[in-house]
Structure 1
Amino acid sequence: MNIDTLRNEWEELSREYTELETCNRRYIELLEQLHSHQQKCFNEIKHQRYRMNQITASLRQFKGPFDPEEKEKVDDLQRMTLKRKAQLHEIEQSLPAKSGRYLQIILGDVNVSILNRNDKVRYKDDYEKFKLILNVIGLIMAFFNLIFNYRALELTFIFLLVWYYCTLTIRESILKVNGSRIKGWWRAHHFISTVAAGVLLVWPQGEHWQLFRLQFMYFNVYISIVQYLQFGYQKGLLYRLKALGERHNMDITIEGFHSWMWRGLSFLLPFLFIGYAFQAYNAWTLYKLAYNPPDAPWHVSVMCGLFLLLFVGNMTTALLVVPEKIRERAKERYRLLSMGKSMKLRKEMKNSASDLDISSSTNVVPEPEKKEN
């Protein structure tokens, strides 16, 4: 290869670089336009909400009684207001959202919004894989801690719990910014678990820890097995519900009972309640250890309170959801029974009507004419 050939290749590369510069300038222009359109959308959403609040406040000033025509207009305005709020919410899902206080403390003022829908779903799936893989690793390490009583192995496992729950809270906060509907207790559950894992990490090895250690490892083995079964069940159920259009694409699996999990959950409910009872048993054991043996470190009392808090939160959530779902299933069963009875009645009426038509047609058949001789 001579110098002229290299020169020609460099000139070709320079032409390609010119195209790259043009593409980059266009990209920067589009980014500036994107930012401008985003700000315009935010301002318009704010304007829409301000005007709707004015209209709603004016509607409250109307005193009844209304004539039928005015009442219909008022109801129509209220329906349109609710619809517009839902429409604005959908528009906001396509715009970058502000990070919560927790993310601002951990990550700083960084935009963590994912604007592409496919990227949002991909990030959510990566979150699910992260939970499943760490759950299996935690199960293996807890099992080894049952066999071997080594302090280094214990600290490695507890540090894994601290890192897992810290990472989980950050990932869930990012998912929340991007439209995931994880709420209330389930996020609080992971924050409490992070604090509990931190307390366990600094709990000094001693008589109190050794008395609680084996029970704690059995608890982790049991919880890991239940979570593995639950993740598999919830993932399949969420896939079916999303395919039917009944769930949001950013909904995630959780370590507990939620309303959408009711379908086919009867085989998992006893395991969940046993896990909750295990948390209460841990709290009771730690409560006794706080007084006997004497001179218990502060970690014992704190862990007792945290396990009790987890038990109360999990049981309260489950007891609020389960009766509601039982009532809904009872209503659905009665509705199906009434539908079945009405269908059976209609079928009987149809059959009786058919029999009546047949007998009537038999009676009206003309007799054959007699031949005249």
Structure 2
Amino acid sequence: MRSYCLAELAEHLGAELIGDATCSITATATLERGGEGQISFLSNSKYRKYLTETRAAAVLVSADDSAFVPPGVNALLVKDPYVAFARVAQLLDSTPAAANGVHPSASIDPTADVAASAAIGPNAVIAAGAVIGENVQIGAGCFVGEQAVLADNVRLWPNVSVYHAVKIGSNTIVHSGAVLGSDGFGFANERGNWVKIPQTGTVVIGADCEIGANTTIDRGAIDNTVIGNNVIIDNLCQIAHNVHIGEHTAIAGATVVAGSTRIGRYCIIGGAAVINGHIEICDGAHISGMAMVMKPITEKGVYSSGIPAVSNLDWRKNTAKLRQIDQLYQRVKQLEQQLTSMQTATGADH
């Protein structure tokens, strides 16, 4: 178990320490459940009541909330408690490695270039010409295709499939069941018959990315599908062929991005959003969960289209009214025509 004294954590975070500098921290916890040797944080004032009652050994707080820290609880004053919490959690992370050493059951082609420090788990397959960088971890049952490149410190959790020629940047994490580089949905229709178009591009993923479990990223049809640096993609997402996603963008679970769409930098896309193909979304756009994006977004802002849940009774009433929208539209149109005719007649009389 890793442990750090508060003085070490304060130095790591550039924080102001209030309390016992020698206090040992071994784990993170919530304010409600924190106890001896644990550190928590307050980043939202609505949870301030838990701060006054916490039994955590230390808390990460802003200067504005320092007055609410109870006696006997140490504090680290930081600019952003949530970011500070993430930094401390990284130091105390107890997640095991995806693989240790090279398992005897791993199949590694003789022409693959595998760094001596790489770890490859049971039944993993490394195909011809693949390049595996320093300190890469490849979990059990993974497949790394021909000419694929995994840069230093990439981590593949079990049963990830990396198709041929896919490139993954350093420090990127790919979770179980993800498929990178499968064929894009490219077909031509010849009198009702679908003719497959070979997908000859690949997928290029930048550094410091995270790809969620069971997410799929299709290879490009001709050009590449490109994921920029520090992009985070949640579980169960579908990224189609030739999509470009800009640096530092975050995409929540079950989102679908259709082919040849370009998403800018620093975008945030909520869960279960659907984004049409062949459109462009500008830098810094925020798209709410369940939104249906059909047209380009050219101005930074928040965009929504999902319908919030209501009681079943209200939904039934609203649905019944929606069915009458066309009739209502036609009636309003007739009334406008009648009003125009009356105004015209009145004008003629004068």
TM-score range normalised by the length of the shorter chain: under 0.3
Greater strand share, structure number: 2
Greater helix share, structure number: 1
Q: TM-score, normalised by structure 1?
A: 0.25
Q: TM-score, normalised by structure 2?
A: 0.26
Higher relative CO (Cα under 8 Å, sequence separation at least 6) belongs to: 1
